[in-house]
Amino acid sequence: MTEWTILGAGALGCVMAGLLRQRGERVSFMLSARHRGHFHPSLDLITLSGRHELIQSQPRFPEQARQVECLLVFTKAYQVLEALKGLQGLPTTTPIILFHNGLGVAEQVQELFPHNPLIAGVSSHGAMKEGDWLVRHTGKGETWLGPQNEAAKSWAHLVKPLAAALGHAEWSNDITLHQRRKLAINAVINPLTACNNIYNGQLLEPRYADVLEQLSEEVFQVMANLGDTEEQKDFRRRLQQVIELTATNYSSMHQDLIHGRKTENEYITGYILAHAGTQPVPVSSQLYQEIKRRGG
């Protein structure tokens, strides 16, 4: 049985760890030096039914990188490289699965670990951090894995234990499609909720109807120009569904901005701007600049 090592103990990383442990999988957390010498607490997972479950896991530290069998990276996009640089002892056979939001990081990770199987992960599970080592699973979703290099193509078997733990996990040889479709949703919801200081469901209020429509159109057109064949009505339906399913949630960008943390603006809205070409994207540009102005 593979041990799953979680790098990035945020909301989604902790929920994934909890779901894997519930299925009897071996799970560890790769911790930073500041946790050294501290008692490693149990993870308190609040399940979909509202029940509290204590989840036990093993602590790991960077000097134990050689023991890592499978690495799941749940850090913010801008933290990925720095977090991985401390794991230079990672065996070249260990798969690295990147679960961050946005796009543009995998290429840099490939340079850092040229021989490791590099896999992209996309998940729509809902997760909310309510305290230190206290997380709430707020919604079931789909999880997709796919290869980012040649070495990763022989690791499709990883989806079987993940599917058993998460309810759904599939392998896709065109993982970029799933990444872009998730990014498209994030590029609408995240900057709008962050700049307006609202939770996701408020985007459906009449006062946001015009800007929601304009931004959706911009993002859809950029993705269409990149080769996505999804029809506009299907994109709108998907966007509406995500807003409704996460209605009471605050987006990650909203939470980062409100708490004075760096956001993933560069990897989400920045990606839209970088790939807009000659297409005008005034709403995306305005939101991007506003988040930068506020320090995000």
10-residue averages of pLDDT along the chain (296 residues): 93 96 96 75 94 94 95 95 93 97 92 97 91 91 96 97 96 95 96 97 97 98 94 96 89 93 95 96 98 91
Ranges of beta strands (E only) in the chain are: 3-7, 26-30, 43-46, 52-55, 58-60, 70-73, 96-98, 118-123, 126-131, 134-139, 143-147, 170-171
Identify the pLDDT of residue 32.
83
- Cβ atoms of 195 and 291 closer than 8 Å: yes
Measure the CA angle with vertex 125, ends 1 and 229; round to 5°: 105
Structure tokens at 284: 């995306």
Contacts 24+ apart (CB under 8 A), 205-211: 211/283
Identify the pLDDT of residue 37.
67
- Cβ atoms of 243 and 182 closer than 8 Å: no
pTM (2 decimals)? Answer: 0.92
Domain 177-293 in CATH 3.30.499.10? The answer is no
Structure tokens at 274: 């970088």
- Cβ atoms of 102 and 262 closer than 8 Å: no
Identify the pLDDT of residue 274.
96
Instruction: List the beta bridge partners of residue 52.
Output: 46
How many Cα atoms sit within 13 Å of 2 on the Cβ side?
19
Identify the pLDDT of residue 97.
98
**Residues labelled as active-site residues:** 182
Domain ranges of the chain: 3-173, 177-293
The dihedral region occupied by 214, where left means phi > 0, alpha psi between -120 and 50, and beta the remainder, is: alpha
**Domains 3-173 and 177-293 belong to one CATH topology:** no
CATH class of residue range 3-173: alpha beta
